[in-house]
Chains A and B, each alone.
Chain A
Amino acid sequence: MLRAGYGGGTCDVCFDAYYHRMAMAKNGSQDKVTGNNPDSTNIFNVIKDNHVESMENTIIPDDVVRNILSRLSAKPLMRFRCASKHWNSLITDPCFINSRARRMILMPSGLTGLYAFDPKHQNVVKLTYPFEHQIYKCKIIGTLNGIVLLVLEKRLCGPCIFILYNPLTRATKKLFDLPRPCCKREAEGYAYGFCHGNIIIIRLDCLCPSSDERDNCNVFSLEKSALTARKTTFRIGEYGFLVDNVGMLLNGFLHWIKRMYVDYVLIILVLDVTEMVLTRMDGPRISTNGYNLKSSVLGMLHGSLCMSNRWSNGFDVWVKGHSEWSKQYSFALPIYRDGCPNNLDVCILEEGRILVKDGDSNQIIMCHLFERYYDIYKCASEIQAIFRSEVSGRAQFYDVGKPFEYVESLVSPSDMCQSMENTFIPDDVLRNILSRLSAKPLMRFRCASKHWNSLITDPCFINSRSRRMILMPSGLTGLNAFDPKHQDIVKLTYPFEDQIYKCKIIGTLNGIVLLVLENLEKGAWTALKTNFRLCEFGFLVDDVGMFLNGFLHWIQHMYVDYMFIILVLDVTEMVLTRMDGPRISVDCYNLKSSVLGMLRGSLCMSNRWSNGFDVWVKGHSEWSKQYSFALPFYRNGCPNHLDVCILEEGRILVKDGVSNQIIMCHLYERYYDIFKCASEIQAIYRFEYGKRVRYDVGKLFEYVESLVLPSDICHINAFYLPHQSHQRSSLIRPPSDVYPPSPASTPLLQHQASPFTIAPFLFTPPP
């Protein structure tokens, strides 16, 4: 059972009033108690609103759903997007698709469609290919963000069509047409990739060797969705030919391998895409013949350009250093003891993986350069098509293109550029931004989207935001709060501002403030008889009681000997007991500074002396003065009107009504901060020292902002409060906060022992 609540008792205007009112809210069921007593007996009214809804958890946790979904293939996944909005949001969450991370190797097979090899599941999948029944020649230029760029060509005539295709969602987008290059030769160069923050597609048309014209370079920018044709300053096909006509874009430069006709050496052509300037770079010094040409491909390793080169039973990887090439990796393939077959397609993937497609023995070899191991996948008969079309007959020389790796994504081809701009903002960034907003924009932005609403209403978010405010009651004029972090005073919106209510704060709990407005009765009350009269022989110093462990405490100032006693009310049994207060001398000035509080789980009481104050803590049997805090700037004695409030974590707030300042004392760390109050909060003081000086507007309360609805508070604190108390108890020692208030109530105390309390009667005084 949780020990928290509001406690209150009103002792109005004069000392011997017979008018008591208490209100409290406990967790579980909602009880409200009030006492209204015109004569000599107290009658309590209790109401029980049993609206505890069944907390049946019919929702499957998102993590479970994500785990299930991540195991589904594309088709059911796309189907289930329709299941509900929530599932759609789960599936379309980029993080989810990233974590699903199906990396597939696209295996082009020219005419017959697209195949993809899934290394994780070790199978080859035939991808749906929207142009299957049309006689296109299909070439893959590259993949980016899960979107494949295809170039389709009718067999005999007609233009080349550039198409973006997402194999997961099967969405396509036609980009543009280009006429076929002349002389029925293939266009020499293609590229698809990032360049200066943009995605570009390049086709370089190589003209007939006989013509004198220079090459045409068509650059398509996805961002602007515009195609520009530019004349190059060079002719790329002079004196040699490109080994692989799909170039490699790196840092805004396009790279091709070119083999010279004359001396058979490999050189690298580097094209600066913005300036259209072609430079030539030496390749690694390797011997080439007709067979290992196909295995010479460019790639990227550690951010540098690299090139693979095959030798008889394995291959080398050359990496371009600052000035020259060096052979950094040499990878032997023991399965090719008798020499590699001629028909070996090599592709350098990311993270030092190299994919080798062996067309003779129908197998795929995945080599891990850094870890120095390789896996072999024997291909089943269904994918013979990949190899057959390449090897057999007239397709022999027809380049179907190299394999590409792609990672599935839900990016739509039509908004590929927009999605490049990272359409989603990470929740951490959003939370950070939101936590800096004040209440008004925060509430407004709850409407922005469901996701934002869920972010804002997340209890953890509000906890982390954790604006601790000190409520400053000011009677009629509304609510003011002091924000120690930003050191300013905020006027809180107060719904009853225009009505002439007297407003009194009884307490705060979970960010909900209990207000008592005169002439306003809320709810119905059930009557209970008490066996005592609260105001006999004394008056309550502070009429708002302090709830601790299910007991309500008030300080009573006796008429006779001016001593303090503590009245302890057992709320369940309505038994009042009396406990001695600390032995301190009282005069009418330090009365206001004598307040109850809790320090390390024990009841404590503050008491002012001439220039500082003491904190007395109730031990197992008696009170001891544990802290004595001097306020050196009150050298000539504290002013009389000093409001004191004991907050959590050993902080004590002192409100000085004379010099308009607020002092926050940290007992444990032994330092204090002073906040000079600006003129706008004079009202807090003025009202108190005006005509109704003796009218107690109430003490200060700390509250932590929360989004808890007043009508929900009972439901919420079942899982909300333990969170807080857990945090607190981890900071301090396990609270052994129970002490016996009186012999009469001890049996009950055992019954009510909190889960943290091991032995109810063992009290260990704080150090």
Chain B
Amino acid sequence: MSKKTLTLMSKDKQLFNIEEHLAVQSVTIRNMVKEDGASSVIPLPRVDSETLALVIEYLNRQQAPEEDEDYVKKFVDERGEIPTLLELAQAALDLDIKKLMDAACMKVADLIKDFTLEEVREALRIENDRTPEEEKAIRDEFQWAF
């Protein structure tokens, strides 16, 4: 039986090939393949090529099921940069790959849990939309958390 390949297209119009039986780990792709046979290119308009390359690397892993958990953990550990992990989580969300999504989010949660407010704002690109007074009110209420 010949292995069918699918082509994925990233946001910046780069093309990536992946074997179909590996790609269907993504629920989104599985549904697409089911619906129309996905004869052509699958566009992923929100995933950039670096992230897609990572996702493909993840999907291509050859791991025994019992080692899989460790592998996923190691996979995200090696890419310990918050922006990369966020991109990865977003891609996993779009592609509906639950394991990858959970692992990436877990890693981000681990990284940010000791962050101060300023650090977390910077890391997760949050714009502070409170006035200093409003912020102080919350700080006072949950003083123990700061």
Chains A and B belong together in one complex: yes
Chain A residues in contact with chain B, CB under 8 A?
A: 85, 89, 193-197, 249-252, 300, 302-304, 421-426, 428-430, 432-434, 436-453, 493
Q: Using CB atoms, name the residue of chain B closest to A709.
A: B141
The residues in B between 61 and 94 inclusive whose CB is less than 8 angstroms from any CB of A are: 83, 86-87, 89-90, 93
* Best-buried of B12, B112, B142 by chain A (most CB within 10 Å): B12
Whether, in the assembled complex, B21 has its beta carbon less than 8 Å from a beta carbon of chain A, the answer is no
A437 to chain B, nearest CB (A): 5
**A437 CA to B108 CA in the complex, in Å?**
10
Other-chain residue from B46, B50, B130, B144 in contact with A447 (beta carbon distance below 8 A): B130
A426 touches B93 (CB 8 A): yes
Residues of B in contact, count (CB < 8 Å)? 49
Known A-B contacts A440-B144, A443-B145, A448-B128; the reply to A434 vs B12 at CB < 8 A is no
**A252 CA to B14 CA in the complex, in Å?**
8
Known A-B contacts A252-B14, A421-B83, A448-B121; the reply to A303 vs B7 at CB < 8 A is yes
Whether, in the assembled complex, B125 has its beta carbon less than 8 Å from a beta carbon of chain A, the answer is yes
A303 touches B144 (CB 8 A): no
Whether, in the assembled complex, B57 has its beta carbon less than 8 Å from a beta carbon of chain A, the answer is no
**A549 CA to B98 CA in the complex, in Å?**
41
When distances are taken between beta carbons in the complex, the residues of chain B under 8 Å from A440 are: 144-145
12 cross-chain CB contacts under 8 A: A89-B129, A251-B15, A303-B7, A303-B13, A422-B90, A428-B93, A437-B109, A441-B114, A443-B142, A448-B121, A449-B121, A450-B129
Contact string against A for B residues 91-103, beta-carbon threshold 8 Å, 1 for contact and 0 otherwise: 0010000000110
Q: Using CB atoms, name the residue of chain A closest to B42.
A: A303
Whether, in the assembled complex, B35 has its beta carbon less than 8 Å from a beta carbon of chain A, the answer is no
B124 to chain A, nearest CB (A): 6
A87 to chain B, nearest CB (A): 13
Given contact pairs A197-B12, A447-B130, enumerate 7 new A-B contacts (beta carbons under 8 Å).
A303-B40, A429-B101, A434-B109, A444-B117, A445-B120, A449-B127, A449-B128
Known A-B contacts A196-B12, A302-B40, A441-B114; the reply to A452 vs B126 at CB < 8 A is yes
Other-chain residue from A85, A89, A300, A448 in contact with B117 (beta carbon distance below 8 A): A448
Whether, in the assembled complex, B1 has its beta carbon less than 8 Å from a beta carbon of chain A, the answer is no
**A441 CA to B116 CA in the complex, in Å?**
9
**A241 CA to B97 CA in the complex, in Å?**
48
When distances are taken between beta carbons in the complex, the residues of chain A under 8 Å from B50 are: 197
When distances are taken between beta carbons in the complex, the residues of chain A under 8 Å from B109 are: 433-434, 436-437
A436 touches B105 (CB 8 A): yes
A444 touches B13 (CB 8 A): no
Whether, in the assembled complex, B34 has its beta carbon less than 8 Å from a beta carbon of chain A, the answer is no
When distances are taken between beta carbons in the complex, the residues of chain B under 8 Å from A422 are: 46, 87, 90
A433 touches B112 (CB 8 A): yes
**A268 CA to B11 CA in the complex, in Å?**
24
**A451 CA to B120 CA in the complex, in Å?**
14
When distances are taken between beta carbons in the complex, the residues of chain A under 8 Å from B128 are: 448-449
**A546 CA to B108 CA in the complex, in Å?**
42
Q: Using CB atoms, name the residue of chain B closest to A193.
A: B13
* Best-buried of B46, B101, B129 by chain A (most CB within 10 Å): B129
When distances are taken between beta carbons in the complex, the residues of chain A under 8 Å from B130 are: 447, 449-450
**A250 CA to B120 CA in the complex, in Å?**
37
When distances are taken between beta carbons in the complex, the residues of chain A under 8 Å from B106 are: 436
Whether, in the assembled complex, B9 has its beta carbon less than 8 Å from a beta carbon of chain A, the answer is yes
A432 touches B40 (CB 8 A): no
**A302 CA to B40 CA in the complex, in Å?**
6
B71 to chain A, nearest CB (A): 20
B9 touches A303 (CB 8 A): yes
A447 touches B139 (CB 8 A): yes
Contact string against A for B residues 5-27, beta-carbon threshold 8 Å, 1 for contact and 0 otherwise: 00101011111000000000000
A429 touches B86 (CB 8 A): yes
Whether, in the assembled complex, B113 has its beta carbon less than 8 Å from a beta carbon of chain A, the answer is yes
When distances are taken between beta carbons in the complex, the residues of chain A under 8 Å from B145 are: 439-444
When distances are taken between beta carbons in the complex, the residues of chain B under 8 Å from A451 are: 126, 129
